[in-house]
Amino acid sequence: MILTLWLAAATAAAQDFEVKTHTLENGMKILVQEDYSIPNLALYIFYRIGSRNERPGTTGLSHYFEHMMFNGAKKYGPGEFDRVMEGAGGSNNAYTNRDLTVYQDWFPVSALELIFDLEADRIRDLRFDPKIIESERGVVANERRLGVDNNNFGLLSEQLWATAFAAHSYQWPVVGWMVDIENWSLDDLKQHFRMGYSPSNATMVVVGAVSAERIFELARQYLEPIPSHEPPPQVTTQEPEQLGERRVEVRKLAQLPLLMIAHRVPPSRHADTYPLQLLSAVLFRGQSSRMYQRLVDKDQLALFVQGGSSFSFDPTLFTIVSRPRPEVSAPAVEKAVYEELQRIQDQPVSDQEVQKAKNILLADFYRLMKTINGKANAIGTYEVFFGDYQKLFRAAQDLEKVSPQDIQRVARAYFHSKNRTVATLIPEKEQAQQREGGTQ
């Protein structure tokens, strides 16, 4: 699952959302925000390891490992992690993307100490049971079938990234190639655990109805004794400069064509992130956005159009996805997209449009602050991608400084054909009708 880039802005003073921090001796940093609105907690652990840290032959291992983290450790054996947590009123999940593996627990205050015990057990003493490794391999293969083989968006997106990156590890899918899912070994898993799961490679965020002091105390008791080791080796590969448009086609049974257009953009820490967020809002947010107006409403070429990028450590893709309407070809949609991208380069966006984009992002920020879960995810996401959670609460000021000229400049810098990769799904319909025979 790819972490969606949400766009934050804030006028609220940081003290409205005070965060207390503490770093354990083994290097794990802990961030806590007290919130007593409900008697519950959201606890996130962000590990700085994702599919970018993998190698050919074991693609998808980070995501598979995420699954294995639920399959038994020393104190809590196979199935116990979930059984014990749910029995105490908690629930959990996790997600993996190209950069991170993130674990999430949601539970009532009464289960707090138990959660620390469960998390410490699996970080310290994960068990690798060969039988479970095999059944979980089946689960992940099914996840891939669902998300890629039987989902044309997933299928085309996979081809897009594989085409856009020739050198960098962003080229393979987070879930991994099917043949790699079938072939990774117990040793691969153990090596992955050693590489990615040092406490010093993790950041914990807790938001909810308990004092920061109590969280720090439990962390010292349960997590501080876990020894640290080497973090994952740096990903040194850099994608060489792109020198021309790349195109890829997928032909298969499908009801309608599908179009994805990607342009390479810099990593999150780059100063252009904020102008790009505003550009994205101008183009894609709401029915008054430029792309919706042009493609869906006025020219009626597409069923929908969306665009954006995710936070990332390395240069990534800003992707535009559109589904042509019946009887409309993908090239017709593509042409209209380019005309809109050209328009924003030729003429600065109006002050009114920029203000609208800023207002949308400010409202987004407050919506994110509505839940303890949203806050925990946002604080952690900013901490790991920007190196400073306070960027979350300063985002409004940072966005406010962006001018229409900045937006025009980033549009010119990134949205040109040399920097572009296009993936098109072309339906093969006739074949479908031949195979289908009559109904009974």
Nearest approach in angstroms of CB 401 to another protein is 19
Who's near 411: CB < 8 A, 6+ residues apart?
Answer: 279, 341, 344, 345
Do residues 103 and 44 make contact, with C-beta atoms less than 8 angstroms apart? yes
Contact pattern from residue 136 through residue 165 relative to another protein, giving x for each residue in contact according to CB under 8 A and a dash for the rest = xxxx-xxx-xx--xxxx-------------
Give the E-state strand segments of 295-416 in sequence order. 302-308, 316-324
Q: Is 347 among the residues that bind another protein (CB under 8 A)?
A: no
Nearer to another protein, 68 or 164 (CB): 68
Binding mask 19-38 for another protein (x = CB under 8 A): -----------------xxx
Residue 55 C-alpha from the chain's centroid: 20
The token pair that represents 307 in the structure block? 């665009």
Q: Are 368 and 381 in contact (CB under 8 A)?
A: no
Place of tokens 């090239």: 331
Q: What is d(CA 209, CA 36) in angstroms, rounded to the nearest whole number? A: 4
Nearer to another protein, 95 or 409 (CB): 95
Give the C-alpha distances (Å, rounded to integers) separating 410 from 72, 218, 318, 347, 421: 48, 46, 12, 13, 18
- Kindly indicate which of the ranges 23-31, 119-127, 235-243, 368-376 contains the residues binding another protein, using the contact rule CB under 8 A: 368-376
3-class DSSP assignment, residue 405: helix
Q: How far is the CB of 241 from another protein (least distance, A)?
A: 34
- Told to check if 439 binds another protein by CB under 8 A, we report yes
In the region spanning residues 169 to 208, those forming contacts with another protein, defined by CB under 8 A, are none
Question: What are the structure tokens assigned to 192, written together?
Answer: 């992955």
The answer to whether residue 254 forms part of the interface with another protein (CB under 8 A) is yes
Binding mask 293-332 for another protein (x = CB under 8 A): x--xx--x--x-------------------x-xx------
Contact call for residues 71 and 136 (beta carbons, < 8 A): yes
Please choose, out of 105-113, 115-123, 196-204, 392-400, the segment that lies near another protein by the rule CB under 8 A: 105-113
Shortest distance (Å) from residue 93 CB to another protein: 5
Phi and psi at residue 229, to the nearest 5°: -145, -170
Which residue from 113, 183, 363, 417 is in contact with another protein, where contact means CB under 8 A? 363
The answer to whether residue 235 forms part of the interface with another protein (CB under 8 A) is no
